[in-house]
Amino acid sequence: MTQQLTETPVDETAPATEPEAPAAPAPRRTRAVLWAVARWTAAVVVCGGVGAGTAAGITALDRHEVPGLATESDGRWEYPVLRLPALPADRLRPYTDGNEGEVHHADLRELLLPAPAGATPDPKLKGGFVSTDAYLSLYGKEFRAELKRSLADSTLRHIAARGWTAPDGTRTTVHLLRFSSVAYAESYEDMALQVDAADGPLALPDGVEGVVLENFTDDVDVPDTSLYAFHEKKPHGPEQTGWAYVQAGDTLALITLTRKGEVPPVPFQQTVTLQNQLLG
């Protein structure tokens, strides 16, 4: 609907009104107050902007980068992001339908756990293939001959290894043994090493006498693999050794950590768990 504009009639009998006088200028005090308010408003806006920028800068930082909010390290080593290696064409990963033999078709060297940040690589264990004797040198001399015979009977295919020394002095080695079948890998672990024996494994690392079973293995949940971990019983020499076995399909891993005093428990569990995940 269009709104109609109406005009109010003029009363000619009403006395004429004189024009209004112009408004007086504002007092100086009122102007001063207005300028002060304006200045404070601008200051508040600027401070608010600076505060917001500071808050945004803090929230954009990681917690350990903010002074006063840094969290104490729990001792874990800083490993690079782990990725499973690519497979040859038409090959399957272990524990998948169609790979009934639980075979690791990836390059064994690419399944080795990489060294953590700050570690010094072992010049003899660079992530390549090593000899059977190099692997057996990890064990006491009294065990080597029998283990060598067992490996010869088990149709061992090859061994890949990597080693490093962490900044705290912990020396770590990782050996992956690939057998011709999962049955041979399990037989070597159960019969030659006897890792699940009630009084500890049969074959011990060089210099180790007493054995204590680690209990963190119950918390490592990697399906279709078996994990056994141990550390040297006190009293021991100036160094302590911790070691673990991971049996995953046709592959058996041996992880060892040795350090003056005692093996650090957190990196030990971390290293074993990550290598287990790479093989699972």
- Domains of the chain, by residue range, sit at 30-68, 108-279
How far is it, in rounded angstroms, from Cα 251 to Cα 257?
Answer: 20
Type and span of the H or E element at 3: none
Give the pLDDT band of residue 198 (cuts 50, 70, 90). Answer: confident
Confidence of residue 199 (pLDDT cuts 50, 70, 90): confident
The pLDDT of residue 263 is: 97
Q: Which residue has the tokens 């003029």?
A: 10
CATH class of 108-279: alpha beta
For tokens 């300028």, what's the residue? Answer: 35
Question: Is 163 within 8 Å of 122 (Cβ atoms)?
Answer: yes
Task: Write down the pLDDT at residue 138.
Answer: 98
Report the pLDDT value the prediction gives residue 252, as an integer from 0 to 100.
98
Position 37 scores a pLDDT of 38
How many Å apart are CA 279 and CA 272, to the nearest integer? 11
- Residue ranges of E strands in the chain: 120-130, 156-165, 171-179, 211-213, 226-232, 239-248, 251-260
Between CA 258 and CA 256 the distance in angstroms is: 7
Mean of per-residue pLDDT scores for the chain: 80
Look at residue 200 in the predicted model and tell me its pLDDT.
Answer: 86
The residue whose two tokens read 């200045």 is 39
Token pair belonging to 185:
């890998």
Q: Which one-letter amino acid corresponds to residue 58? A: I
Is residue 279 a contact partner of residue 225, using CB atoms and an 8 Å limit? Answer: yes
Residue 107: how many other CB atoms lie within 10 Å: 13
- Whether the predicted pLDDT of 84 surpasses 60: yes
